[in-house]
Amino acid sequence: MNELIERPSVDGDTLELARVEAQMAMLAANIRASTRSTAAVIDPTLEPFGLALLRVLARRGESHASVVADVLAVDRSMISRQAKLLCSLGLVETRVDPLDGRARFLALTPLATEKLAEVRRNRKALVHRRLSRWTPADLDQFATLLERLNEPD
């Protein structure tokens, strides 16, 4: 007999897809909680988006606000507002672009660099702590699957 076996489903999705979605939702919640606690280590008033901006500057070096906005996929006005807050906390400074006196670069202050290094040394982030126990092969496979998931349609 060549009968089709009907796969169980949850709300029209396969059990496997429902399981993946549930685990992704849990991962997203863990990442949000971890980001909030990491931001608080840097400064109790720092918001997660501010941490994201600091991490972009740490990776890319001083950058125009428009570049940071592109990297974070947000409007430039969001970067401007967040940069003002970060400047008031002593974590970011602005520098005049020598090629265009109207433009400004955003750059980490030594305090921000020190705080980000402290966060990296402590590695208290939940997801990082858990992933650090995985083998390199598991991490490579996971990264490959995430890359596939994040490919544009």
Average pLDDT, the chain: 88
Query: What integer pLDDT is reported at residue 11 of this predicted model?
Result: 64
Distances (CA, A) of 33 to 20, 28, 116, 121, 125: 20, 9, 17, 19, 9
CA distance 144 to 153: 17
Spell out the residues 6+ positions from residue 127 whose beta carbon is closer than 8 angstroms to its own: 27, 30, 31, 34
Give the pLDDT mean for 110-116.
Answer: 96
pLDDT category at 106 given cuts 50, 70, 90 is very high
pLDDT category at 29 given cuts 50, 70, 90 is very high
Give the pLDDT mean for 77-82.
Answer: 94
Spell out the residues 6+ positions from residue 8 whose beta carbon is closer than 8 angstroms to its own: 14, 15
The alpha-helical segments, DSSP class H, found in 1-153 are 15-42, 48-60, 65-72, 76-88, 110-122, 126-131, 136-150
DSSP state of 105: E
Evaluate if residue 1 carries a pLDDT over 70.
Answer: no
Percentage of residues in the chain with pLDDT exceeding 70? 90
Percentage of residues in the chain with pLDDT exceeding 90? 61
pTM of the model: 0.73
| 6 Ramachandran zone, left/alpha/beta (phi>0; psi -120 to 50) | beta
Query: What integer pLDDT is reported at residue 6 of this predicted model?
Result: 58
